[in-house]
Amino acid sequence: MPVDLNGYWKMISNDNFEEYLKALDVNVAIRKIATLLKPDKDISHDGDHVVIKTLSTFKNYNMDFHVGKEFEEDLSGVDDRKCMTTISWEGDKLVCVQKGEKEGRGWTHWVEGDTLHLELRACGAVCKQVFKKT
C-alpha cells in the first residue's frame, strides 16, 4: 500500500531551486520571483487518483492524474512546455517522469514522519524541497 500523501503541507526549505529553473530556461525575472515564494502543497489521493495543488501568492499549479497512466501535461504555469508524463509508485515514493524537450525531467515525492519531500530534476539540476504537514 502506498504511503498516505493526503493533507496540506507548508514549505520549510527549498534548496537549489534557481538552478533547477535555469535548467528549464525560465527567464531571470520569473526565476527571481519564484525563488522568493514559499508555495504550499494540497494533496489528495484516493487509490490511483491523485490531485496535487501547488499554491502560492504568485501562481497556482494543479496536477490531476491517475497513477500509471501516461498523460499530456501542460506546464504553462511552469515553463510553457508540454510533455508526456507518467507517475508511478516505486515503493513508498511517488515518481514522475516527464518526456519532452528537457532531458532527465521529473520529480519524486515521499514522506518521512510529518514532512513531505520533493526532489525536482531537469538536465542534471536537482532541487530539494521539504514541506511540513499542517
Contact present, 107 and 86 (Cβ < 8 Å)? no
Q: Please check whether residue 42 lies inside any domain of the structure.
A: yes
Q: Please check whether residue 69 lies inside any domain of the structure.
A: yes
> The domain spanning residue 24 has which CATH number?
2.40.128.20
Cell numbers describing residue 35 = 525563488
Total domains in the chain come to 1
State residue 97's pLDDT score. 98
Model pTM score: 0.94
Contact present, 119 and 108 (Cβ < 8 Å)? yes
Mean pLDDT by 10 residues, the chain (134 residues): 89 97 93 93 94 92 96 84 95 96 95 96 98 97
d(CA 43, CA 9): 8
Range of the domain at 108: 7-133
Closest by CA position to 88, among listed 100, 78, 97: 97
Q: Please check whether residue 1 lies inside any domain of the structure.
A: no
Q: Please check whether residue 2 lies inside any domain of the structure.
A: no
DSSP for 62-85 reads EEEEETT--EEEE-TTTTS-EEEE
DSSP 48: T
Q: Please check whether residue 13 lies inside any domain of the structure.
A: yes
